[in-house]
Structure 1
């Protein structure tokens, strides 16, 4: 059963352990039983409003003997994150509980030249707060959001969450925040900090987009508490839980296969890309040594808004090498995430769907754009450099051998 398979249980609270002030059926008994089995328990909530002490007190009133150091709120995690970044002053949009956690971490709350602007929410958040946050960010304060949840459950239905306020400030400031709460890995890392690395952990939540996706971001198994199985857009969707249960009592009756992390990150974006196999009369291929990876590669790039694909590939080759090309034919479409998901120094991860074309040279002499490439050269198709991007020899082979239909990989 699930309860015996894992050492650490990371519980979401709203919608899993309780709704409003009332515990959910089987929640108190199930959590107590895990304590009796000497399991490590942590309670993770994206609600930035209460302090850890208040959450622990509420759980004890419900009959769950939780301790303060077992609670991880997005407000407390935000305070820890700012301390790790050596931030000493911040302005705040949010609750008194959030402010208390920040002050307890040694961070001064001020509206006079703050180093950071922390955006959470409470019921008293106003337009004036959004304007104040926008101005601080415009003046250079680091923009930090406690969590991305647009809403949270209540007995009367969903209520606006901190994510709704964070996105309002983002729209006004024109700047993306650093978000601390789930599904980002930071809260999960803080939750298991100090535990043995050999201990296996499982996350139990009610939100596929924060709890399950966050579990998988952090390399943990994800269980969803829901009345119905969610409908995944794809079998590879990381919001798909390993198991859906109706109550926490199912932890003692159901079996589960643990999550296995795939060899690529979860993308923030999906973008159309282009690649050019530019050949000469002697069947040599144009390659450039990329400045970012220092590996040889075909000329590649993104399709910009309102730009036809043929214009995109011609522009990319000209920008990167100074050569004007003739686009001959589409040779392949490539989207396998093992090869086409890239993480950048900015922190963004992009999944490219790349359209590859065979091209010939019209005019120009190869010369590297130093911002994009260290070198430019021509190589025989059977004599490609060993440090070429690993998926691209297949692209070249598909472009040279066009005896069949366009390759789709």
Structure 2
């Protein structure tokens, strides 16, 4: 939903509120926070309180909110620890080892998961003040022996009245480095916590996330398809207008939910990438000026030969290697004819759930030797096509690449 002119409090049915830095800081409520939350409650808004802190039980947080003057119930609290326990239960995990707090262990147990170091199904990594080197070592060993690696949340730190304190994300990354394996992360900015927060509400409910961290609250909201509002004194400056961490609106306190505002952010038609990779592509032409295409096995669409650049590999070497591996042809590179990185065309999501943004260098190439043959793992077919009569089921961005290859002015296209 795009924010309209008017009060935010009137535009949404459900308010997903971050806690640290939005409602309170340490043991103290932030200015106007309690009054604003209670005004939303009085207007019959659905309230959910989200925190990436995996240490406390939900009931403890509900009790603390009531002490501040907010009448919160346990089922309105979504912690990364509880969300991790619920996720594992949904995955039919029955045993888990834990690096983290007693509260995290209790949340797992209440979801029917036995906490044990005896051949666990999962290795859950959160954190508390007692986390040690031995805990990191224990976690890495369980993962090495086959336990599924699950991190409660990615936060390297969290706010306190005395400044930032180390968060669970630092421990998760230490275990990742020791185990050499990436975890499944449950907490913000992953969409799962937001989906759990909305579970049980009507499908057409209009929801908004309000948080103080663009990299977790706003990004997570946008990844889940929800409006994201930032609580901060100053408007953040994103590196790109396409950045999903850019909030729909920035407010200084929750009281601004009841004043007239407007926002402009609109959901982009691509996933937020987990990483950026250098890529290469080849427009290989034969003596008849026909272009080489492969019917890709993964997408069952026609496409140019493409690939990634390995570490310390020049892009020219990368494309000659990729073409030979995919088709058996030896090629000569004529020229660089374009560099492509537009996210609507160059962000790809994989079955693993990871999204990658490719910055692709595309070359016009000629054939030096070999006979075109399909690599069974990469392509179903290989063929040459008239550049003015390309197959209809070609990857949508590549006809433009092929057209750019015929541009004779010598300047590479940048798209």
Match of 1:147 in 2: 153
Match of 1:134 in 2: 140
Matched, 1:386 2:383: no
Q: Deviations over 1:28-83 (max 9, x none)?
A: 00000000111011000000001111100000000001111100000000000000
Q: Deviations over 1:80-121 (max 9, x none)?
A: 000010000000011111011000000000100000000001
Give the 3-state SS of the residue equivalent to 1:118 in structure 2. Answer: strand
Match of 2:100 in 1: 94
In the aligned structure 1, how far is the partner of 2:139 from the partner of 2:29? 36
Unaligned runs of 5+ in 2: 1-6
2:369 to 359, 363, 374: 363
Match of 1:60 in 2: 66
Matched, 1:407 2:413: yes
Is 1:222–1:259's contact at 8 Å kept on the other side of the alignment?
no
1:6 to 9, 12, 16: 12
Match of 1:324 in 2: 330
Q: Deviations over 1:149-208 (max 9, x none)?
A: 000111111110100110110010000000000000000000001111111111100111
Is 1:11–1:204's contact at 8 Å kept on the other side of the alignment?
yes
Count of matched residue positions in the alignment of Structure 1 and Structure 2 = 409
Q: What is the aligned-residue RMSD (CA, Å)?
A: 0.9
CA deviation after TM superposition for structure 1 residue 254, in Å: 3.6
In the aligned structure 2, how far is the partner of 1:406 from the partner of 1:181? 42
CA deviation after TM superposition for structure 1 residue 227, in Å: 1.3
Is 2:242–2:268's contact at 8 Å kept on the other side of the alignment?
no
Match of 1:186 in 2: 192
CA deviation after TM superposition for structure 1 residue 401, in Å: 2.6
In the aligned structure 1, how far is the partner of 2:207 from the partner of 2:344? 25
In the aligned structure 2, how far is the partner of 1:236 from the partner of 1:266? 10
In the aligned structure 2, how far is the partner of 1:158 from the partner of 1:55? 20
Give the 3-state SS of the residue equivalent to 1:342 in structure 2. Answer: strand
Is 2:55–2:128's contact at 8 Å kept on the other side of the alignment?
yes
Give the 3-state SS of the residue equivalent to 2:81 in structure 1. Answer: helix
- Which stretch shifts more, 343-352 or 164-173? 343-352
Match of 1:162 in 2: 168
CA deviation after TM superposition for structure 1 residue 243, in Å: 1.1
Is 1:208–1:241's contact at 8 Å kept on the other side of the alignment?
yes
Is 1:268–1:348's contact at 8 Å kept on the other side of the alignment?
yes
In the aligned structure 2, how far is the partner of 1:86 from the partner of 1:261? 34
Unaligned runs of 5+ in 1: none
CA deviation after TM superposition for structure 1 residue 234, in Å: 0.6
Matched, 1:338 2:349: no
Is 1:326–1:361's contact at 8 Å kept on the other side of the alignment?
yes
Give the 3-state SS of the residue equivalent to 2:261 in structure 1. Answer: coil
Is 1:216–1:222's contact at 8 Å kept on the other side of the alignment?
yes
Give the 3-state SS of the residue equivalent to 1:91 in structure 2. Answer: strand
Give the 3-state SS of the residue equivalent to 1:78 in structure 2. Answer: helix
Give the 3-state SS of the residue equivalent to 2:36 in structure 1. Answer: helix
